[in-house]
Amino acid sequence: MKTTYSVSKVQSNLPRVLKEAEDHVIAITRHDETVAYLISKERLESLIESLELMSNPKAMKAIRDAKAGRTKYLPLSALDED
């Protein structure tokens, strides 16, 4: 869900808009054109983590292999075996 506010509305209601941004993306407009987005810290961290994974060729190969059923999963107890 995305909510849109004008710059002047954001300026006059900043505490409420910040609280609302914890739950969903806020679009900020100037003259009916979107100029910025306000998102929560958690959502931003999630986006950054996704981008980091997507830029890692080994991680992407592991994900593709897992989706294709080519990954062998072992129980954690297998780590104890020497």
Span 6-52, pLDDT tens digits: 999 999 999 999 999 999 999 999 999 999 999 999 999 999 999 99
Q: Give the count of beta carbons closer than 10 Å to the beta carbon of residue 49.
A: 10
- Residues 6 or more apart whose CB falls under 8 angstroms from that of 4 comprise 26, 27, 28, 29, 34
Residue the block writes with tokens 């004008």: 6
Record the pTM: 0.68
Dump pLDDT digits (tens) for 30-41: 999 999 999 999
